[in-house]
Amino acid sequence: MNATFTLLEMRLITRDWGGMFFTAVLPAFFYLIFGSTVESRGQSIGNGNVAMYVMISMAAYGAVTATTSIGGTSAVERQQGWGRQLGLTPLADSSYIAMKAVIAMTVAAVPILLTFTLGALTGARGSAWTWVLSAVLCLVCSAVFAVYGLLVGTAFRSEAAVGAASGTMVIFAFLGNLFIPLSGPLLTIAKFTPLYGYAGLARYPLSEGYLSDGSQDPLWLLVLNVVVWLLLFGSAAVYFVRRGRERQ
Amino acid sequence: MTTISGTAAGASGAPAIELRSLTKSFPPRRGSHDERVRAVDGIDLLVEPGEVVAFLGPNGAGKTTALDMVLGLTEPTSGTAEVFGRTPRVAVRSGSVSAVLQTGGLLRDLTVRETVRMIASTYAVHAPVDEVIDRAGVSGIADRRVSKCSGGEQQRLRFALALLPDPRLLVLDEPTAGMDVTARRDFWETMHADASSGRTVVFATHYLEEADAFADRIVLIAAGRIVADGPTDEIRSRASGRTVSATLPTEGLLRAVERLRDLPGVRSVEERAARVVVTASDSDVVARLLLGELGGTDLEIVTAGLEEAFMALTGDDRDGPGLGGGPVDPRGRRMTALHADPTHEEELVR
Which one has a higher pLDDT value, B324 or A183? A183
CATH code at B166? 3.40.50.300
- pLDDT over 70 at B55, yes or no: yes
> Domain for residue B1, yes or no?
no
The CATH code of the domain that includes B316 is 3.30.70.100
Q: Confidence class of residue B269 from pLDDT cuts 50, 70 and 90?
A: confident
How does residue B232 score in pLDDT terms, banded at 50, 70 and 90?
confident
The pLDDT of B311-326, averaged and rounded, is 42
8 Å CB contact of B110 and A4: no
Sequence length of chain B is 350
> A140 pLDDT band (50/70/90 cuts)?
very high
User: Is B1 a residue whose pLDDT tops 90?
Assistant: no
* Minimum mean pLDDT range among A17-31, B14-28, B190-204, B297-311: B297-311
Q: How far, rounded to the nearest angstrom, does the alpha carbon of residue B289 sit from its chain's CA centroid?
A: 37
B199 and B75 belong to one structural domain: yes
Q: Does B150 share its domain with B67?
A: yes
Residue B84 C-alpha, separation from nearest chain A C-alpha, in angstroms: 16
Is the per-residue pLDDT at B117 higher than 60?
yes
* B210 and B252 share one domain: no
pLDDT at B310: 62
Q: State the pairing for strand pair B37-47/A44-45.
A: unpaired
Q: CA end-to-end span of chain A, whole Å? A: 28
Per-residue model confidence as pLDDT tens digits over B131-182: 999 988 899 999 999 999 988 899 999 999 999 999 999 999 988 877 788 8
Instruction: Name the least confident of A214-228, B275-289, B303-317.
Output: B303-317
Q: What are the residue boundaries of the structural domains of chain A, listed by start?
A: 3-246
Min distance B129 CA to chain A CA atoms (Å): 13
Say which DSSP state B146 is in. G
Question: Binning pLDDT at 50, 70 and 90, where does residue B307 land?
Answer: low
Residue B326 sits in the same domain as residue B181: no
| Residues B187, B265 within the same domain | no
Task: Inform me whether the pLDDT recorded for B79 exceeds 90.
Answer: yes
Check B73 against A248: CB less than 8 A apart. yes
Query: Is there a contact between A246 and B74 if contact means CB atoms under 8 Å apart?
Result: no
Looking at the structure of chain B, the number of domains it has is 2
pLDDT tens by residue, A107-118 = 999 999 999 999
Question: Which pLDDT score, from 0 to 100, does residue B40 have?
Answer: 92
Q: Residue B83 pairs with which residues in a beta bridge?
A: B17, B86
Which pLDDT does position B322 carry in this prediction? Answer: 30
pLDDT at B309: 55
Measured between beta carbons, which residues in chain A are less than 8 angstroms from residue B123? 89-90
Q: Is the pLDDT of residue B273 over 60?
A: yes
Spatial separation of the C-alpha atoms in residues A119 and A125, rounded to whole Å: 8
Choosing from B187, B206, B236, the residue where a domain stops is B236
Q: What is the pLDDT of residue B344?
A: 35
Residue B269: count other Cβ atoms within 10 Å of its Cβ.
24
Q: Among A219-228, B94-103, B332-341, whose mean pLDDT is lowest? A: B332-341
CA-based nearest residue in chain A for residue B125: A90
* Beta carbons within 10 angstroms of residue B44's beta carbon: 15
Residue B109 to residue A15, Cβ atoms within 8 A: yes
Nearest Cα residue to B84 out of B70, B100, B68, B102 = B70
Which pLDDT score, from 0 to 100, does residue B336 have?
Answer: 28
Q: Is A94 on the interface with B (CB under 8 A)?
A: no
Contacts of B35 (CB under 8 A, 6+ apart): B28
Mean pLDDT across B286-296? 86
Residue B2 lies in a domain: no
Quick check: A245 pLDDT over 70?
no
Instruction: Give the mean model confidence (pLDDT) for residues B198-221.
Output: 87
Q: Read off φ and ψ for residue B142, nearest 5 degrees.
A: -60, -30
Q: Is the pLDDT of residue B303 over 70?
A: no
Residue B323 has what pLDDT? 31
Mark whether B69 and B142 lie in a shared domain.
Answer: yes
Distance CA A115, CA A208 (A): 21
B32 pLDDT higher than 70: no
* Nearest chain B alpha carbon to A11: B110
Position B311, amino acid: M
The Cα–Cα gap between B31 and A13 comes to: 39
Domain end point (choices B206, B236, B266): B236
Q: Which tens digit of pLDDT belongs to each residue from A38-97?
A: 777 788 888 888 899 999 999 999 999 999 999 998 888 888 888 888 889 999 888 888
- Counted across chains A and B, CB pairs separated by less than 8 A come out at 80
In one letter, which amino acid is A2?
N
pLDDT at B50 over 80: yes
* pLDDT classification of B252: cutoffs 50, 70, 90: confident
Mean of the per-residue pLDDT values for chain B? Answer: 79
What is the residue-wise DSSP string for B326-348? S----S--S-S-GGG-HHHHHHH
| Least CB–CB distance from A248: residue in B74, B119, B158 | B74
**Shortest Cα distance from B260 to chain A (angstroms)?**
46
B339 versus A233: which is more confidently predicted?
Answer: A233
Mean pLDDT along residues B18-30: 86
- Check whether B339 has a pLDDT greater than 90: no
The pLDDT score that the predictor gives to residue A180 is 84
Boundary-marking domain end, from B236, B262, B289: B236
Residue B324 — very low, low, confident or very high, per pLDDT cuts 50/70/90?
Answer: very low
Three-state SS string across chain A, please?
Answer: CCHHHHHHHHHHHHCCHHHHHHHHHHHHHHHHHHHCCCHHHHCEECCEEHHHHHHHHHHHHHHHHHHHHHHHHHHHHHHHHHHHHHHCCCCCHHHHHHHHHHHHHHHHHHHHHHHHHHHHHCCCCECHHHHHHHHHHHHHHCHHHHHHHHHHHHHHCCHHHHHHHHHHHHHHHHHCCCCCCCCHHHHHHHCCCHHHHHHHHHHHHHHCCECCCCCECCHHHHHHHHHHHHHHHHHHHHHHHHHHHHCC
Q: Which residues of B196-221 are buried (b: 16+ CB within 10 A; e: fewer)?
A: eeebbbbbbbbbbebbbebbebbbbb
> How far apart are the C-alpha atoms of B259 and B244, rounded to whole Å?
15
- Give chain B positions within 8 Å (CB) of A90: 92-95, 122-124
The answer to whether B31 contacts chain A (CB < 8 Å) is no
pLDDT band at B12 (very low <50, low <70, confident <90, very high): low
Say what the ipTM of the complex is. 0.82
pLDDT at B311: 60
Closest listed residue to residue A70, CA positions, set A135, A183, A167, A162: A162
Could you tell me if B158 lies within 8 Å of chain A, comparing CB atoms? yes
Residues in contact with B195: Cβ distance below 8 Å, sequence separation at least 6, in sequence order: B52, B201
Residues B214 and B333 in one domain: no
Parent domain of B325: 240-348
Pairwise CB contact (< 8 Å): A82 & B107? yes
| Residues of B (34-93) whose Cβ lies below 8 Å from A | 68, 71-74, 92-93
B28/chain A closest Cα distance in angstroms: 9
Whether residue B15 is found in the same domain as residue B161: yes
Q: Which of B242, B344, B228, B259 is nearest to B303 (CA)?
A: B242
- C-alpha count within 13 angstroms, C-beta hemisphere, residue B114: 19
Is residue B209 a part of any domain in this protein?
Answer: yes
Instruction: State whether B107 and A89 contact (CB < 8 Å).
Output: no
Looking at the predicted structure, is the pLDDT value of residue A37 above 50? yes
The amino acid sitting at B118 is M
Q: Which residues of B touch A70 (CB under 8 A)?
A: none
CA distances to B89, B106, B115 from B125, rounded to whole Å, are 17, 22, 17
Q: Strand B275-280 and strand B266-272: pairing?
A: antiparallel
In this complex, the residue of A2, A80, A248 whose CB is nearest that of residue B121 is A2
Is pLDDT at B306 greater than 60 in this prediction?
Answer: no
Strands, sheet with B78-83, edge to edge from the N-terminal-most edge strand: B37-47, B17-26, B78-83
